[in-house]
Each structure stands twice: as structure tokens, then as C-alpha cells.
Structure 1
Amino acid sequence: MPSYDYPFNERIRTLLRLEDLFSKVLFNVEAGHEFNHHCALLSIFQILDVIDRAELKADLLQELDRQKIVMNGLLGNPSIAENVLRNVISEIETTSLALRSNAIKLGQTLRDNEWLMSIKQRAGIPGGVCEFDLPSYHFWLGLDADRRKDDFDIWLKPLLPICDGLRIILQILRGSGVTTNLVAFNGAYQQMLGGTKPAQMLRVELSDDDKCFPEVSANKYAINIRFNKLDFTERPKQCDVDVKFTLTLCNL
């Protein structure tokens, strides 16, 4: 089923952006073609820009430590599979150790690489990484794919603990909510929110047969979802039929 995540705060928004960028990096590195490796490198540059603007390491460690305490408190609960729980705790401990063992600023080894930073600077210019602009980069793209993958292994090594940490946190977040089956009459749905603990993210899932997508406007007081049809010639229009969907409110 197509699913759509909507974050309620900047912290979760940053994690979702990084998740998307890491997915693109890992896919394109594995694909191996020089065009894929070019796209992977551009995504790495975007990752550096995102983590530059956030106290990401401290936030990840704080949340991982909190989740470890919660998970340890669940050990011995007969309604929870203990082997699965222990695997999650082990993942949290391994990732936290990797993050703490890196004393320098996240991504600093890449920022200290003058060759990479020269490419990053040119990459901000439309068409700025042509072979006549950066012959050394053109030469690198022409190397054997395995050689380029070895370089990516070196560049990604200090960033992978971030990837592991946000993967664990988002997995816990997505699994935290209760899913409700709902209907958006004439493509519109509204829900007032209450309670002392506001949601941090919502998930909307649709049937494969529904030819529409949700646009979400939400805060701690209310959720508004409008389901639109895609029109390639003008702005999307709201569906004029009832749309069945599932809604999950997620909270760490």
C-alpha cells in the first residue's frame, strides 16, 4: 500500500529527510553506473548540509538511550517476544557505541577532503560538474565501478552510524501507533486532536487502486487531510469521491 509520513516537528522532519537521502545514496552506490555514482555523491553532499544545520548526534544519542531504558523495562513481559526485544536493544547499544566513538564533528572527514569539497562547490551550479569544469571528477567517474565503490565505502563509513541510528528510531516511531480505518468523504477528512501527549508523526496508507494522494495540514490541535488527483497540466484537484484510508498517529 502507498504510505505517506507527515512529521509534526522539525526533529522528525530532519530524520525523514536523512532517511530519504541515505536510501538514495545506498541504492545508487550499489547500482554501480557512473551516473548512479554521480547521484549518490550529490546525495552525500545534501546529507552533509542537513547534518550541518542540526544537533543531530546529541539528539540521536539521547533518543537511543531513552529507548534502551524503555526496552529494558519491557524485558520479562510475557506478551512481548523477548528474543526480538533483545535484538533491538543490541542494535541500539551497537549504534550508540559507534556514534560515541567518533569524537569529531559528524561528516568532518568529508569536509576536510579538498577534492570532494571542490566538487560540492561546483555541484551547486547548474551543469557545473561537466568534464571541462572538473576533469579530475570526470576521470574518477571513468574508473572501474568497484574502485568507485571502495571510495564510497571510505566516505560513508563515518556517516553510517547516523543512518543506523535514525533507522532504529524511525522504525520504533512507525511501530508505535494504533492504526484506524477511516473514510474521507468527497476527498476530505478532519480530526481534532486531544490528550496530553501530542503525536510526533502521522502515517496515511491508501489502497493501490486509489488514484490519489494526500495533502496533510496538521498541528497538535487538529489534522486536515485532502486527497487530490494528479493533473499534469494544472494544479492538483481534490477528489470528488469518498476515499478509504488508514491513519496511524505515531509517538516515541
Structure 2
Amino acid sequence: MITYEYPFNERIRTLLRLEDLYEKFVFFLHQEHPQHHHVALSTIFEMLEVAGRADLKSDLLQELERQKQMLLGFKANPNVLSERLDEVLAEIDRSSAALMASQGKTGQNVRDNEWLMSIRGRTIIPGGACEFDLPSYYAWQHRSPQQRYDDISGWFAPLAPLFDAIGMVLRLLRESGKTTTTIAQAGSFQQMLQGKVYQMLRLTIDESLGAIPEMSANKYMLWVRFTLQDGDMKPKPFESDIPFELTLCNF
């Protein structure tokens, strides 16, 4: 099964982009080749571009507090596992406390590092980070894998609370949805939303079908159109009925 996600607003779109960059960063950080660590470092620069919104930190803190207050309302519900609820509340408290303790603008430690900024300025140029452009960076790439790992981890460390909070918020959002199984007749599906506001759509489909969903939505209606890719990777309509799982998520 393969799951596709569609954000309903710019706020969730930004969080999903940062989550995607973080997963990419973690993968390449834990490799050993200098080229892998180059991608990990470049990904930090991409994170700073996406996370540049000054209100992202306050947005996350407000959302975590809102989720905490909502979950506290379930304390007296006998149908709720109290141990599990306490675990989630403790996780929210840890994420909030760490994010609140982080000082300054997101990624300011990287922006204040002239050497890193010189690398960032060259990486936006195609082929701009060659050894003759940045000999000191080329020398750093010849350090041991552990040294490079420690350096990159240290540069990323002030960003970690932000990404922990993003992961917590997205996890709560994904768990908020109720999944239904439905069928797209002749590769097409529509559903009236009747004005109800959602944050994210999650669609799960059997990967072996080869169907690719193209999704769009507003506050009134949701559209899903499935396509196939031919040998030239050009999309063409999927004309058979397609079973899939649909989850509409909202805080």
C-alpha cells in the first residue's frame, strides 16, 4: 500500500515540506560518503528557506497548547486509555518546553557562521561548490565520517526542537482522521464537504494498481482523479474502478 497526502492550506503544506526535508536530512546524515554529507548540509540550507516564516515557532506552540487542552478534556472519559493519554500529554509538554527554550530566529546559528554562509552562497549555483571554489570546504569533506557527522549534527542541533514539534503536530493531525474505504468509479471520485474545514487528506491505495491520484479540494468539494503513466511517463486517465482508503484529518 502507498499513502498520498494532500494539504488543504499553506500552513500544513509548509509543515509537510519541512517534514520531508527532515527525513531526507536524517537519511544522508547517517551515511558516510562526503557526497552524502554534502546533501545533508545542503538540506539544512533548504530547511532555513522553508522555515523562514517568523511566526512558525509561535504557530506550533499555540497548536501544541490547543491540542493539550483538548486532550485534557478526555481525562474523565472512561473509554480513553489513561496511560496512553498521559504519554501523549507528556510528549506534548516535552516538545513545547524544548521549542520554547530555543532562542532567537530559526537557524540563526547557521546564518551567523560565515563559513557556512559562504558554502550556502555557492551551493545555489549549479556546480558552484567545486574544490577550486571552496578549498576549505573540500578539505572539510576529507575529514573522517565521524567528524563530519559531529559537525553537521552540531549545526542542526538548535533546529531539532522545531522539527520535534512539527513531527508531534503532524502526528496528532494524522491520528485525528477517520478512515473509510471507497471506490473511484472509472478512476474518478468526488465528495461534498458541506463547508466543513479539513487540514489534510490522506489517500491509501494498492501500489500494484499503478494508479496515481491527482487531488484538489476546497471547503465545498473534494476531487480525486486517478491516472496512469505510460512508457514516456506521460499521465493518461485510469478508466477502471479503483478501491482506496480515504482519511480526512482535522484538529
TM-score range, shorter chain: over 0.9
Tell me which residue corresponds to 1:212: 211
Tell me which residue corresponds to 2:11: 11
Shift, 1:151, TM fit: 0.7
- Deviations along 1:168-218, whole A, 9 cap, x unmatched? 1111111111111111111111111115x4111100000132111111011
Shift, 1:103, TM fit: 2.6
Shift, 1:232, TM fit: 4.5
Tell me which residue corresponds to 1:143: 143
Tell me which residue corresponds to 2:230: 231
Tell me which residue corresponds to 2:220: 221
Letter of the 1:222 counterpart: M
Letter of the 1:93 counterpart: D
Shift, 1:61, TM fit: 0.4
Letter of the 2:200 counterpart: M
1:1-252 counterparts in 2 under 5 A? Answer: 1-53=1-53, 55-195=55-195, 197-233=196-232, 235-252=234-251
Distance 1:234 1:154, change over 3 A: closer
Distance 1:219 1:32 in 2: 45
Distance 2:59 2:31 in 1: 32
Distance 1:158 1:245 in 2: 40
What is the aligned-residue identity percentage? Answer: 49
Distance 1:156 1:88 in 2: 25
Distance 2:147 2:77 in 1: 49
Distance 1:67 1:170 in 2: 12
TM-score (norm 2): 0.96
Shift, 1:69, TM fit: 0.8
Q: 5+ unaligned residues in a row in structure 2: which ranges?
A: none
TM-score (norm 1): 0.96
Letter of the 2:167 counterpart: R
Distance 1:232 1:141 in 2: 39
Distance 1:88 1:11 in 2: 23
Distance 1:232 1:23 in 2: 30
25-34 or 228-237, which deviates more: 228-237
Shift, 1:76, TM fit: 3.4
Distance 2:15 2:249 in 1: 14
- Deviations along 1:24-65, whole A, 9 cap, x unmatched? 101110122212111111111010001113521010000011
Q: Secondary structure at the match of 2:190?
A: strand
Distance 1:231 1:55, change over 3 A: farther
- Deviations along 1:66-93, whole A, 9 cap, x unmatched? 1111112212322122111111111111
Q: 5+ unaligned residues in a row in structure 1: which ranges?
A: none
